[in-house]
Amino acid sequence: MSINRVNISGNLTRDPEMRATQSGTSILTFGVAVNDRRRNPQTGEWEDYPNYIDCVVFGNRAEPLHRFLSKGMKVAVEGKLRWSQWERDGQKRSKIEVIVDEVEFLSPRQGGQQGQAPQGAYQPRQQMAAPAPTYAAPQPTSYSPQPVVQTPPPTDVYDEDIPF
């Protein structure tokens, strides 16, 4: 058995590119930069080394994502890996890309006027200030008290008695 699942989170390296196949299937491509943290052998300090991952979205989800994604946004992507190989100018080339199943927005879209996103852009939920709770002394009511629930007597159960 083999498992082909990948989860990455990082920043979009470029604005997404939308195209379509001859049959009309939408294809959205974008890149995500994820960091690998390594210790520099000369200085002994930790440094970030970027990895650039190509991502592809097919079908009906491509168009809505195209409107909401833009360069620099932080996203989390879940999908599967696909290896492609082709030949160009007599040289064999290959790459691995993520076929995207899910995208989670980790930062709002940048742009527009100060504090205002462009029309149709992703807008985070507004945090509404909740009114401060008010506390008052309990009012006397006429009710009967709840019956006291008694706990069952303890039983002696040992690990050896459990059949599994």
Count of C-beta atoms within a 10 Å radius of residue 15: 14
What domains can you pick out in the chain, each with its CATH number?
11-105 (2.40.50.140)
Buried b (16+ CB within 10 A) or exposed e, 121-140: eeeeeeeeeeeeeeeeeeee
d(Cα 145, Cα 48) in Å, to the nearest integer?
64
pLDDT greater than 70 at residue 133: no
Strand partners, 88: 91
**Tens digit of each residue's pLDDT (9 = 90 or more) over 55-110:** 999 999 999 999 999 999 999 999 999 999 999 999 999 999 999 999 999 986 55
Confidence of residue 123 (pLDDT cuts 50, 70, 90): very low
Residue 85 CB neighbours (<10 A): 8
What's the pLDDT tens digit per position in 4-48?
A: 999 999 999 999 999 999 999 999 999 999 999 999 999 999 999
Instruction: Grade residue 138 by pLDDT with cuts at 50, 70 and 90.
Output: low
Residue 117 carries which side chain, given as an amino acid letter? A
Identify the sign of the CA torsion 27, 31, 34, 40: positive
What is the pTM for the complete model shown?
A: 0.62
pLDDT tier for residue 124 given thresholds of 50, 70 and 90: very low
Give the dihedral sign, CA 113/11/7/37. negative
